[in-house]
Amino acid sequence: MRAFIFDLDGTLLDTLLDIGHACNAMLAAHGYPVHQPEAYRRMVGNGFGKLVRRALPADALERLRAQEPDERAVEALVDETRTVYAAHLNDATRPYEGMPEALRELAGRGMALAVFSNKPDEYTRILIEAHFPGVFSVVRGARPDTPLKPDPAGAFAVAADLGTAPAQCFYVGDSDVDMLTARHAGMAGVGVAWGFRGLEEVRAAGAARLVRHPSELPSLLAN
């Protein structure tokens, strides 16, 4: 193996509180019930559009869909949530314990390191620069010209930018979306225990490897 490609939210960084704050701020502003932060563990992973649709009450979502064609009313709330998040995306966000050390060891062993996330590209780059400056040679978030994960197009683009065949890449993530992305791209999916979803989800989604702490990541090179 020549490269490790990482998901961002729930894998490299614990972003749940800041994501939940942004969604709850939008919901409260429109009189909708808010959610406990833990509830957002099941809502994230497929981009802001699906996040907001999952956070909205089902009846409110149906009313909004009927209000304007092409879901413009819903998309306005998605944009509003993005705006709140952009102003607070690094308030409570932190790297997972042991992750900086694990990344240093992987780099020291000659591994190419990259990030591929469904978070908007701009926010992905801001957070990586804030928490892991100079660590990753390729950073790619969601872009308008590329389908979201689990479509493999973005993963293929990252591997190409690394100059590495997909089969020579580990893809590390915390959700079924990540494991499906790895499978579709022909990469080795590594499911993590510390993220938003837990080992049972990534195991059921076909993770090739399972790790319980970032310190275990370098040991994958021995297998």
- Distance from C-alpha of 3 to C-alpha of 27, rounded to nearest angstrom: 40
- Distance from C-alpha of 198 to C-alpha of 202, rounded to nearest angstrom: 7
Specify whether the backbone of 101 is left (phi greater than 0), alpha (psi in -120 to 50) or beta: alpha
Question: Whose CA is closest to 153, among 190, 111, 186, 120?
Answer: 186
Does the annotation count 7 as an active-site position?
A: yes
Question: Whose CA is closest to 173, among 96, 107, 108?
Answer: 96
Q: Which of 7, 174, 176, 178 is catalytic?
A: 7
- Distance from C-alpha of 178 to C-alpha of 12, rounded to nearest angstrom: 13
Active-site positions?
Answer: 7
